[in-house]
Amino acid sequence: MTESFTPSPEHHFTFGLWTVGNPGRDPFGHEVRPPLDPVEAVHRLSDLGAYGVSFHDNDLVPYGSPGSERDDIVKRFRRALDATGMRVPMATTNLFSRPVFKEGAFTANDPGVRRLAIRKACEATELGAELGAEVFVLWGGREGVEADAAKDVAAALDRYKEAIDLVCQHIRDRGLGLRVALEPKPNEPRGDILLPTVGHALAFIGRLQWPEMVGLNPEFAHETMSGLSFHHAVAQTLWHDKLFHIDLNAQRIGKYDQDFRFGSEGIRDAFYVVKLLEDAQWDGMRHFDAHPYRTEDAEGVWDFARGCMRSYLILADKARRFREDAEIQAALHVAKLATLAEPTTPAGGLAEIMASSPDEEALAAQGYGHERLDQLVTELILGAR
Ligand code: GLT
Ligand code: MN
Ligand code: MN
């Protein structure tokens, strides 16, 4: 890690085309930035030191493009990738923008809508694989409901499972080699969305036909919207070997899905997430799914992208300092962190536990030094040590 915090491809930073290409439209206001050509996005991100880009099918190929146009677009895009060395580690499909998906896609009550969605998703797996993607993300933005009477949640979950199984079948039949990553979100744009959190999605994967092909793409903003710890969500996803991809951004609890620049809110949770990924030597992409503020002109977009990557590198450097800081390590000893890694079962097994007479008072009288430890971490993050 260089002290100048300059991003480079070895850091594996990726951005969705829809992130730097976000035109700043919101529910109350129109676009404030012109459309960004995907080819320009590839060049500008490459200049900034990114490793690659991801896209929805229709970020790259406008919906309904005839086959010949599609091929020209893909060829031109591939030339930009070849010229820059940029990669496409992940692709996804847009099952939320078109009016036909207003009642759901994989879980729409109408089987015709569901079949259309499955076909679109399968075609998107082919587009992704063609450009080298290894992960296929599915964010079910429209898989939900406002009028609860209109949706049988159990039946919807049956249909959700069926759809994911069919997409996996397509990937297997065509030998596309993709792994599928589900992205949970609690609400927005639907009043309630199915598979609202990492925990719900992890449980759902166990019911699939090929659970080994399916993992998660947790997003910072989405867990945080529910008031949950993103750091804990990612830690448990790693524990289940299901961290296939990650969406990094920033979010304040209790607000709309803000998708802010990584590190701009929730810096403490961001630090622990970066520390977790770095300590685990997780080999996935550090993918940013965030939007530049609506205040930005076309140039501000690149300040945004640079900021995401720099904040990650700065926090990764803090994680390294955390490991090397003697006072922090001593405080971790007081907190008994290392002994949590020891199995609870003694040599004599459960019988020994049942026969023991622990000194409850002595155990209860211990202090764990969390105030001191946490202050040390705060000072590390604030740059005071
Ligand atoms: C949409 C959503 C994101 C998802 C994208 C992938 S689409 O921008 O807000 O969280 O990751 O479908
Ligand atoms: Mn996302
Ligand atoms: Mn989001």
Domain boundaries, the chain: 2-319, 325-382
How many CB atoms lie under 10 A from the CB of residue 279? 12
Confidence category of residue 1, pLDDT binned at 50, 70, 90: very low
Q: What Cα–Cα distance (Å) separates residue 32 from each residue in 18, 36, 191, 294, 371?
A: 15, 12, 27, 7, 46
Ligand nearest to the CA of 138: 1
Ligand 1 atom at minimum distance from 247 CA: 11
pLDDT confidence of residue 235: 98
**192 CB contacts (<8 Å, ≥6 apart)?**
144, 145, 146, 148, 186
The residue annotated as part of the active site, out of 12, 57, 59, 325, is: 59
Q: What is the mean pLDDT of residues 248-276?
A: 97
Q: What is the mean pLDDT of residues 86-111?
A: 99
Does the annotation count 59 as an active-site position? yes
Give long-range contacts, CB 8 A cutoff, 24+ apart: 338-341.
none
Residues 176-225 have pLDDT tens digits of 999 999 999 999 999 999 999 999 999 999 999 999 999 999 999 999 99
Average pLDDT, the chain: 98
pLDDT confidence of residue 240: 98
Confidence category of residue 3, pLDDT binned at 50, 70, 90: low
Q: What is the mean pLDDT of residues 97-120?
A: 99
Confidence category of residue 2, pLDDT binned at 50, 70, 90: very low
Of 14, 15, 17, 18, the one to substitute when testing ligand 1's pocket (max ligand atoms within 8 A of C-beta) is 18
CB 201 within 8 A of CB 243: no
Residues 291-320 have pLDDT tens digits of 999 999 999 999 999 999 999 999 999 999
- Assign 3-class secondary structure to 352-383: HHHHCCCCHHHHHHCCCCHHHHHHHHHHHHHC
Amino acid occupying residue 290: A
CB 32 within 8 A of CB 291: no
CA distance 226 to 68: 44
Q: Which fold has domain 2-319?
A: TIM Barrel (3.20.20)
Q: What is the mean pLDDT of residues 27-33?
A: 98
| Predicted structure pTM score | 0.97
Residues 126-167 have pLDDT tens digits of 999 999 999 999 999 999 999 999 999 999 999 999 999 999
